[in-house]
Structure 1
Amino acid sequence: MQFLFIAQLIMMIIGPAVRLVLRMLGVGFVTYVGYNAVLDVVQNYITQNIGSTGVVIQQMLGIAKFDVIVNIFLSAITTRMVLTGLDKAADLKRKQVWRAPGGTSIDA
């Protein structure tokens, strides 16, 4: 009989934690898939428009390593999004900068 109470207690503790983890994984997965889809569309759009230009312009862009530039730019956007997400995940409760007058703050 006591085993039943212990099992219920464990389910009450573990249940919400498992749901929270699955929810976070779901949001992360949807964001990752959506972002990859957007990046593929952008990269395909750029390469198709480069392919429709003249041969001389394509040669100049090849010499300038335009494909490397596009990859660096898209990687920088990805890195920025990842760092922003990490900052938001680490700083869930921000420190309060402004304090109400009185109490521990200095009145001007």
Structure 2
Amino acid sequence: MQFQWLFTFLSTVGAPLVKKVLVALGIGTVTMIGLTALSTAAKGFITAQVGGMPADVVQLLGVIKFDVAVNIIFSAFTTRATIAGVNKVTGSKSSLGSVGGS
């Protein structure tokens, strides 16, 4: 048995590692698909609601940059979900730095 140590290593370390990686990839894929579907549905709902408004109100929303505000909110949601996913996978807590002024 020339390669007995290799088989022992692969069965004790390799198999659980591969299993954890596959589980993490599966959970990440399902989460990403779910977040994409949720985000698309919410954007579609907002677009439909704004499309049903009178023209004056839609023009006013354009002046106050409502579309930019909605994009900022969706970007913040996506960023927060991404950071939470990275924290869950790595087991550490990361941040984007200090947001408040000193």
Could you say which TM-score interval applies, normalised by the shorter chain? 0.7 to 0.9
TM-score by length of structure 2 reads: 0.78
Q: Which amino acid aligns with 1:90?
A: S
* Farther off after superposition, 81-90 or 10-19: 81-90
| 1:59-70 → structure 2 map (5 Å cutoff) | 59-70=59-70
State the partner residue of 2:28: 28
For structure 1, which segment, 39-48 or 71-80, has the greater mean C-alpha deviation from structure 2 after superposition?
A: 71-80
- Equivalenced residues, count: 90
- Secondary structure of the 1:2 match is coil
Q: Mapping of 1:69-108 within 5 angstroms?
A: 69-88=69-88, 89-90=91-92
Seq. identity, %? 38
Please tell me whether Structure 1 or Structure 2 has the larger radius of gyration of its CA atoms.
1
Q: Which runs of 5+ in 1 are unaligned?
A: 92-108
- Of structures 1 and 2, the one with the larger relative CO (CA 8 A, separation 6+) is 2
> Structure 2: any 5+ residue segments left out of the alignment?
94-102
**What is the CA RMSD across the aligned residues, in angstroms?**
1.6
TM-score by length of 1: 0.74
Amino acid of the residue matched to residue 18 of structure 1? Answer: V
CA-CA distance at 1:7 after TM superposition: 3.8
